[in-house]
Structure 1
Amino acid sequence: MKYLVWISRIIVGVLFIISGLIKLNDPMGFSFKLEEYFSPGVLDLPFLTPLALGISIFVVIVEVILGVLLLIGFKPKFTVWSLLLMIVFFTFLTFYSAYFNKVTDCGCFGDAIKLTPWESFTKDVILLVFILILFFGRKYIKPLFNPKTNWIVGGVALLACILFANHVLAHLPSVDFRPYKIGANIQEGMSVPDNAPQPIYEYAWRFKVNGEERIYVTEGDYPTVDGEFVDVETTEVQAGYEPPIHDFTIEQEGQDYASELLEEDKLVMVIAYDLRKTGGLTTGATNEEIEAAQKEIYPELKKTVDRAKQKGYKVIGMSASSSDMANKLTDTYDLDFEFYFTDETTLKTIVRSNPAILMLSKGTIQQKVHYNDFDELTF
């Protein structure tokens, strides 16, 4: 049992630290995932949506700290009970998502490692087994250091997590795992290789033969049956290749200008997925709060945009907000560019800042900055 506890201690501790640090690198992305869980179609907890970012930061820091405490063997009873309660909750959540097909990616490892709902559930079940070993063998968890050193290690880990979270929120994730990272080409990310796997479908054809209903299954061919056709049910049995970038459009009045704009040698994109959430505001922000946030950010954005235009850049805005709201913003701050419509989820994926600026050359992302770092752009 002692050796099982040691093995479990290392596996669980390391996995919790890795998983927590990946999400701590991008707490905004994890908060978007929590908003999915809080939505009416999933857990129906809309009152938690404005708190999603705060909850995400708290959860991922706790995840890292519990991993550290487990590895150094500090406060084993508290640590193991906390791990058990956390994994039981996550196991329920991933099972619920998988069984009812509610959230297709749990976000357990952020954008670094994508897991299907059933893979996430399986991972949590395996972790639950290891944590149960720790729970029943917790008397074998001995501290590596004396109490004073353990307190110092735990305190330093907590402080480092807080400082790191503050840094990535005030700027951008230190490591970008998304397909829109600097150096990526959007057109290439949307392309499908010639030899890419195609989806495979199964067709269940229902016929009435001699007064009885019968089902004939094929992979697409219409079956030769001496009977009356009733209906057909199609099931995808194997997914085909999906390019890393999809659902990317730059629309105006129902027309997609993406292919044209991505050929520009010098293109600046102002990304603002929701103009009502400028500067990190949440759902329910008052008009006064929105105006105050916009007054703080958009005059600086205008200076940056004007510099870009002087250097020969074409500038466009991309938002999922209404055209009326976008037009009001451009008029208020005399912004010399037009807004185009792009799906909100796509914009959130492109950059974790609202607003943000991207610089591109023929579809390749050269620079991307948070609204706190507009002055770092080099034209």
Structure 2
Amino acid sequence: MSLINQLFRFATGVLFIFSGLVKLNDPVGTQIKLEEYFEVFSTDFASFFHYLIPLALPLAVVLCVAEVILGVALLLQYRMRLTMWALLLLISFFTFLTFYSAYFNKVTDCGCFGDAIPLDPWESFTKDVVLLIMIVVLFVQRNRLRPALPSRAAQVVVGGATVLSLALALYAINYLPPIDFRPYKIGNNLPQLMESSAPLQYQYVMVKNGKEEVFDQYPTDTTYKYKDMILINPEALPKITDYQVWNDQGDFTQETFQGKKLLIVVQNLEHTDVESYTKINQLVGGLPADVKPMVITSVNPEAFEIFRHEVQLALPYYFADATVLKAMIRSNPGLMLLEDGVVRGKWHYHTIPSPDELTAQL
């Protein structure tokens, strides 16, 4: 039993630390996921959850920091009574969320490991069930787990993990995620990611005389009835499927991939940093002639027309899906520099570059 305890303790602690750190790298991504859950719960359970939406970001930070702290405490076998109760409650909550998402197909990606390791709902639920089993075993055996370090030393390690976790979260919120796991990261060729990396291959499920058969090619025998089609190389699917830019004059998606473009992303007006538009205007005024600025937003035209006059943003503007803009950059407003569709630079509104700093990325 001692060997099983140590194996479960190590696996659970490492998974919690990894999960927490990956999400702390991008707390805004976890915020977006929590907002999805609150929207669903406000419809399915009670309107109370709708009032938690403005608190999604601080709740995301607290949950992710708690994952790291509990993982570290478990590895150190520090204050096991409190640690095991907290782990049991947390994994029970996560297991309910992932089961609800999977069974009712409500939130198609739980965000358990952020964007680093995307899991579908049933994969997330299976992972949480395994963790729940391990934590229950450890919970029952908690009195046999002795501290790995003296109390004062363990307090220093746990305290240090708390401070570092909070520092990582604050950095990612006020600047950009240190590691960008999204397909819009610097260096990526967006037009290429919008295409399949290889020809898509399918198998065809056909029925004849009540029996199912699978074919690599669609059968010419007309006595077979089609039932389903299975993609056998899903890894070849496009990594970007929903990027589209338009205005009332038509589609401008390909226009964003031609030459050097500075995309000024305005996700919404409620949470945009108004003061940063002064610096953005100064930047735009100093751009070289071959860098064309374009504003992309999901705000309705009437409201944005009023807003852009208020902040003197005298630039052509286009529209895109709100979810796409959140995926492109975790900043509102945010800047993306493209050269022939390749992402050359990304800036949070706290780090708006000078014209020379921007063009140095080209």
In 1, the alpha carbon distance for the partners of 2:81 and 2:10 equals 16
Q: What corresponds to 2:277 in structure 1? A: 298
- 1:7/1:79 CA distance change after superposition, 3 Å: same
Q: CA deviation at 1:222?
A: 10
Q: Which residue type is aligned with residue 276 of structure 1?
A: E
Contact 2:101–2:108 at 8 Å: present in 1 too? yes
RMSD (Å) for aligned C-alpha atoms:
2.4
Q: What corresponds to 2:265 in structure 1? A: 271
In 2, the alpha carbon distance for the partners of 1:251 and 1:216 equals 48
Q: CA deviation at 1:276?
A: 2.2
Contact 1:185–1:363 at 8 Å: present in 2 too? yes
Q: CA deviation at 1:202?
A: 5.3
Q: What corresponds to 1:375 in structure 2? A: 353
TM-score, normalised to structure 1, is 0.85
Equivalent position SS for 1:81: helix
Count residues in correspondence.
347
In 2, the alpha carbon distance for the partners of 1:122 and 1:136 equals 21
Contact 1:37–1:43 at 8 Å: present in 2 too? no
Which stretches in structure 1 are left out of the alignment for 5+ residues? 206-213, 226-231, 280-293
Identify the match of residue 255 of structure 1 among 250, 256, 267: 250
In 2, the alpha carbon distance for the partners of 1:235 and 1:342 equals 33
Q: What corresponds to 2:120 in structure 1? A: 116
**CA distances 1:280-313 after superposition (whole Å, capped 9, x unpaired):** xxxxxxxxxxxxxx1x1211111112222x4531
Q: Which residue type is aligned with residue 334 of structure 1?
A: Q
Q: What corresponds to 1:27 in structure 2? A: 27
Q: 2:338 aligned with 1:360, yes or no?
A: yes
% identity of equivalent residues: 37
Matches within 5 A, 1:87-236: 87-198=91-202
Matches within 5 A, 1:12-23: 12-23=12-23
Matches within 5 A, 1:235-254: 237-238=230-231, 240=234, 241-253=236-248
Q: CA deviation at 1:166?
A: 0.9
**CA distances 1:1-58 after superposition (whole Å, capped 9, x unpaired):** 1111111110000000000000000000011011111114566621111111111011
**CA distances 1:319-363 after superposition (whole Å, capped 9, x unpaired):** 111112222222222223111110111110011001000111000
Q: What corresponds to 1:340 in structure 2? A: 318
- 1:4/1:218 CA distance change after superposition, 3 Å: closer
Contact 1:94–1:121 at 8 Å: present in 2 too? yes
In 1, the alpha carbon distance for the partners of 2:229 and 2:55 equals 37
In 2, the alpha carbon distance for the partners of 1:120 and 1:98 equals 8
Q: Which residue type is aligned with residue 107 of structure 2?
A: V
Q: Which residue type is aligned with residue 257 of structure 2?
A: L
**CA distances 1:33-84 after superposition (whole Å, capped 9, x unpaired):** 1111111456662111111111101100000000010111110011011111
Q: CA deviation at 1:242?
A: 2.7
In 2, the alpha carbon distance for the partners of 1:35 and 1:233 equals 40
Which stretches in structure 2 are left out of the alignment for 5+ residues? none
In 1, the alpha carbon distance for the partners of 2:127 and 2:227 equals 30
In 1, the alpha carbon distance for the partners of 2:32 and 2:229 equals 28
Q: CA deviation at 1:204?
A: 8.2
TM-score, normalised to structure 2, is 0.89
Q: Which residue type is aligned with residue 306 of structure 2?
A: K
In 2, the alpha carbon distance for the partners of 1:203 and 1:171 equals 53
Q: Which residue type is aligned with residue 283 of structure 2?
A: T
Equivalent position SS for 2:125: helix
- 1:104/1:162 CA distance change after superposition, 3 Å: same
Identify the match of residue 319 of structure 1 among 288, 297, 305: 297
Q: Which residue type is aligned with residue 24 of structure 2?
A: L
In 2, the alpha carbon distance for the partners of 1:344 and 1:204 equals 42
In 2, the alpha carbon distance for the partners of 1:147 and 1:12 equals 21
- 1:203/1:356 CA distance change after superposition, 3 Å: farther
Q: Which residue type is aligned with residue 337 of structure 1?
A: L
Contact 1:216–1:223 at 8 Å: present in 2 too? no
Equivalent position SS for 1:179: coil
Contact 1:5–1:140 at 8 Å: present in 2 too? no
Equivalent position SS for 2:176: coil
Equivalent position SS for 1:134: helix
Contact 1:318–1:342 at 8 Å: present in 2 too? yes
In 2, the alpha carbon distance for the partners of 1:150 and 1:105 equals 35
Equivalent position SS for 1:352: coil
Contact 1:323–1:339 at 8 Å: present in 2 too? no
Equivalent position SS for 1:267: strand
